Amino acid sequence: VIRCRAAVAWAVGKPLSIEEVEVAPPKAGEVRIKIVATGICRTDDHILEGCFPNVDFPVIPGHEGAGIVESIGEGVTSVKPGDKVIPLCVPQCGECSFCLNPESSYCLKTHVSEPQNLLPDKTSRFTCKGKQIHHFLWVSTFAEYTVIPEYATAKIDAAAPLDKVCLLGCGFPTGYGAAINTAKVKPGSTCAIFGLGGVGLSVVMGCKAAGASRIIAIDINKDKFAKAKELGATDCISPRDFKKPIQEVLTEMTGHGVDYSFEVIGLVDTMTAALASCNMNTGVCVMVGVPPSGSVIPVDPMLLLSGRTWKGTLLGGWKMRDCIPKLVSSYLEKKFNSDLLITHTLPIANVNEGFELLRTGKSIRSVLLF
């Protein structure tokens, strides 16, 4: 058993608490990882707000991390102690019908199909003050040591800087892949991105990499416009500057609507606006943002009947264990610069400050270091 620090969420609406936790050794098929760095993602904030009813408290959040294998359980062959790894919040078991489908990026062992508040054997590896602490998405990267299934672990290049590539655990591949994999943005096309957080700006980078000729970035926080332009946006607009609905503004700007639109906020109203803002016949709208549990979208069927495509994406459509190591290699080859998304680096003790920066719109991505 290892004793270490972790940021524990004891209850909805309460700040995270830095505690000493006990982390049990890995069982068969499991890996214990020393987390070096972890990003703060909006999804972690959704837990603290109580947006996910299937998350059990107390829990150790965090799902965008990078670390080093400390020990392995019986039967683990793909990693060994000392390997650099990224824990995967969408696993890839390699055996289910979805993993075996080359066109699917999903795994039936993921949290939407199977609760991941405890490890697959329905027990926890975390205890604190004599209480069982729940896992989050099996990864719980806000703990200095964490135990996860082998099939939720990706070995990466030993040269990778863990304080930078931790973003490749969630935020960057989600946005970049939404453009490259899910929408399949074509060269010369027009794109609109609703929401310019870390994931939305990664969509901007994906659209640029795919050769889009016009990339319209949309946010009510104009402080994010300079970063959006640095990453490839050609236009930046705020809905608050117009008296008419934003979908009408985008249609007027482009003639018939954009070729591709992306909703990266998680609000019902902006999801509908994003769908209406793409070309009525061949437009593709991709839902990237996570709406509150139980949300329902009222939609005019004519928006789809005329030919639009409405798609969702989970972590950008990558088969995670196969693709994350390749993305890390591309990062090392400077094919993209996800470092530009990191605005703050903080010690784990300042985790609540990191969340405050997120909520007030002052950060793009904060990285916590152990």
DSSP string, 102-170: TT----TTSTTTS--SS-TTS--SEEETTEEEB-STTT-TTBSEEEEEGGGEEE--TT--HHHHGGGGT
**CB of 127 within 8 A of CB of 21?**
yes
Q: Which two tokens stand for residue 294?
A: 């139980």
With CA atoms as reference, report the closest residue to 10 among 128, 146, 89.
Answer: 128
- Please give the Cα distance from 153 to 253 (Å, whole number): 44
Three-state SS for 33?
A: strand
Could you tell me which of 95, 28, 87, 31 has the C-alpha nearest to residue 61?
87
Can you give the pLDDT of all 370 residues of the chain as single tens digits?
999 999 999 999 999 999 999 999 999 999 999 999 999 999 999 999 988 778 899 999 999 999 999 999 999 999 999 999 999 999 999 999 999 999 999 999 987 777 789 999 999 999 999 999 999 999 999 999 999 999 999 999 999 999 999 999 999 999 999 999 999 999 999 999 999 999 999 999 999 999 999 999 999 999 999 999 999 999 999 999 999 999 999 999 999 999 999 999 999 999 999 999 999 999 999 999 988 878 899 999 999 999 999 999 999 999 999 999 999 999 999 999 999 999 999 999 999 999 999 999 999 999 999 9
- Cβ atoms 272, 245 nearer than 8 A: no
Of 277, 245, 244, 241, nearest to 259 by C-alpha is 277
Q: Report the alpha-carbon distance of residue 47 to residue 61 in Å, rounded.
A: 8
The whole-model pTM stands at 0.96
Query: For every residue of 291-356, which 3-state class applies, written as one string?
Result: CCCCCCCCCCCHHHHCCCEEEECCHHHCCHHHHHHHHHHHHHCCCCCHHHHEEEEEEHHHHHHHHH
The predicted pLDDT at position 307 comes to: 96
Residue with tokens 């703060």: 40
Domains plus CATH for the chain?
Answer: 2-169+338-369 (3.90.180.10), 174-313 (3.40.50.720)
Q: How far is CA 174 from CA 74, 223, 237, 353, in A?
A: 32, 23, 23, 24
CA 154 to chain centre: 16
What is the number of residues in the chain?
370
Tally of CA atoms within 13 A in the half-sphere of 324 that contains its CB: 33
